[in-house]
Chains A and B, each alone.
Chain A
Amino acid sequence: MNAEAPDQLEKSDIGLQTQIEDMFADYVHSIDDDDIEAWPEFFTETGFYQIISRESHAAGHAIGLLHCDGKGMMKDRVKAMREANIFEPHRYTHVIERPRLKRHSPELFNARTNFIVTRTMQNGDMETFASGKYLDLVDVSKKTPKFQKRLVVLDSRRIDILLVYPL
């Protein structure tokens, strides 16, 4: 987080804020609606995505649960999930709060957004699968905002069964 960045957004940022919030909503809706193929497209080509526990994040661990350095690794995740991995059918519903944005630089915003994800199995079992916060770096230099970095910091270090859909 850039310590020099003003805490409040400038008036001229408000339009961008709406765009970013829409993008955040589209992101979780894509996952929840099983349109996983769209997931990598929310990132820049060199975008970084990681799921890590709060404990590991605080300890500065490099390895969390899942780590994609660049869009290619995300596409491989999607293909693996569709064609290779075996798991019981299930779906997520994400509930996200209003993102708190801060200007990081002319081209980047920092964002923090808390989330809760429920998971519903094919037999109807439904439970809270994950909660935590997204810590993002959003690139606004192009027409559409994209994630330069999306860090998913989970409250719990424990996953129930397995994690195959991104969060």
Chain B
Amino acid sequence: MTNTATGHLREPLNWPEGGVTRIPYRVFSDPEIYALEQEKIFKGAVWNFLCLEIDIPNPGDFKTSFVGEIPVVITRDQNGEIHAMVNRCAHKGALVCLQERGNRNTLACVYHAWTYDLEGKLKGVAFRDGIRGKGGMPKDFDPSKHRMEPLRVETYCGLVFGTFSSETEPVPEFLGPEIDHHVRRNLGRPVKLLGFHSQIMHNNWKLYAENLRDSYHATLLHTFYTTFKVNRLDMDGGIVLSKRGWHHISYAKRSKLQESAEYQDAAVHAAQYDSQLAAPEMLDSWPEFDDEITHSIQTIFPTLSVQLTLNSLAVRFFVPRGVDKTELFWMYLGYEEDDEAKTRMRINQANLTGAAGLVSLEDGCINEFVQRGTRGSAPDTTAFLEMGGRDVAPSEGSRATETAIRGFWKGYRDIMGFE
């Protein structure tokens, strides 16, 4: 078996020549590598998305989630402070919180009624002194030595992050200035939840991490816009990468048309006049920010993404459920300040993404096609990622590049120690 403490695989992985332009298919299907990722990535020096702050607005609120495969629970205590811990009883390892969300003064394990406060500290053990003087815990039992395992928590732009490592730098530094700026742009205001659902993809989690960073495939696989001749004009755009290449932003601008008097006069407009849609009002939108960026999707390593495509604001979060299974959570948001017309446009545009997304539903199966296609491949076979060059660098003016995917693999190799 894997010796995760030292990070050695029984079959060592020697990364092929070509660095981040060559991805051994083995990383998508090897259970040993998958186990090592749990240790090195999800328990390592990264910020894992836990939940939205609005998931737990009130004192006593809790929400369960996952860090890699590890079940966690996030709470808000009576002082309003947010805590996170492994959702596992210190006694026998049972889940402490069974419900996905709720409100409690204390957290109690149903198995033997061990009780914890909202920080995960052990407060009570049933029959500690036995019954009628018999049984009970040994005299030297010290409750302060048993608690639910805590995570370090940081709340940032309404996102609650957790880490198991004491070395993870503060979230804004972890993101770097460009990524930080763009998250603040999109989530720097109070938000409300408009809806959520999840989707099972039958592929390794890293295939979806790649897919999110794959600006090359967008107009090739997803042909909704071209089929309906939706006028996307000369969408100017590019790729921004964080310094280490871990996180990215892919953005597009609906170009100069915004500047025409026609558009200036209308705060809200039908974006797509010459489309062949029977109901073009589905794409009604308004310019949300004055930086001209109309479509953006960004990733935060390892498993978070924020989209603002037209006015569809959503947080995507994916959880590995085994070496070849991933659950993708979609959280659709609006701003607290949105009026009815804006909310209606966000609702209509939500049709574009998600498990039934007109533009993007292919992503639910395409990564599975890779998972299936690479089965039985020879040990030295790899993916070939040279679109847009061989380096990990931002791309101004073009999204016909795989640079952000190479950035992901740069981060992945660094953390995993695959040289």
Which residues of A pack against B, CB within 8 Å? 51-53, 56, 61-73, 75-77, 79-80, 83-88, 157-164
Contacts and interface: CB of A to CB of B under 8 A. Distances in A.
A81 to B, nearest CB: 9
Interface in B43-79: none
B196 A163 contact: no
B327 A61 contact: no
A45 B228 CA distance: 21
Given A67-B347, A161-B200, A76 B194 contact: no
Given A61-B193, A162-B355, 10 more contacts: A56-B197, A63-B346, A75-B278, A80-B224, A83-B223, A84-B223, A158-B200, A159-B199, A161-B202, A161-B364
A159 B356 contact: yes
List 8 tightest A-B contacts by C-beta distance, closest first: A63-B195, A72-B279, A162-B364, A72-B278, A84-B227, A159-B355, A61-B195, A163-B356
A51 B196 CA distance: 12
A161 to B, nearest CB: 5
Interface string B123-154: 00000000000000000000000000000000
A65 B196 contact: no
Contacts of B366: 86
Nearest to B224: A84
- Give the dominant DSSP class at A's interface: mixed
Q: Which of B202, B362, B368 has the most CB of A within 10 A?
A: B362
A51 B356 contact: yes
Given A65-B354, A65-B355, A87 B362 contact: yes
A155 B327 CA distance: 17
A63 B201 CA distance: 21
Contacts, number: 120
B348 interface: yes
Given A67-B350, A73-B351, A159 B198 contact: yes
A69 B284 CA distance: 13
A79 B348 CA distance: 17
Contacts of B358: 76-77, 80, 84-85
Contacts of A67: 347-348, 350-351
B362 A76 contact: no
Given A75-B278, A84-B358, A162 B199 contact: yes
Contacts of A65: 197, 354-356
Contact of A85 (B202, B355, B361): B361
B332 interface: yes
Contacts of A87: 361-362, 364-365
A51 B197 CA distance: 11
A79 to B, nearest CB: 7
A73 B282 contact: yes
Contact of A69 (B226, B278, B348, B365): B348
24 contacts: A63-B347, A64-B197, A65-B354, A65-B356, A67-B347, A67-B348, A73-B278, A76-B358, A83-B223, A83-B227, A84-B226, A85-B361, A85-B362, A86-B365, A157-B196, A157-B198, A160-B199, A161-B199, A161-B202, A161-B364, A161-B368, A162-B199, A162-B364, A163-B355
B228 A76 contact: yes
A52 B279 CA distance: 21
Nearest to B362: A86
Given A63-B347, A66-B351, A84-B228, A163 B279 contact: no
B4 interface: no
Interface in B181-210: 193-202
A164 B363 CA distance: 12
A63 B194 contact: yes
B157 interface: no
A159 B348 contact: no
Contacts of B343: 62
Contacts of A160: 199-200
Interface string B319-347: 00000000100001000000000010011
Contact of A159 (B200, B282, B351): B200
B228 A64 contact: no
B277 interface: yes
A77 B278 CA distance: 10
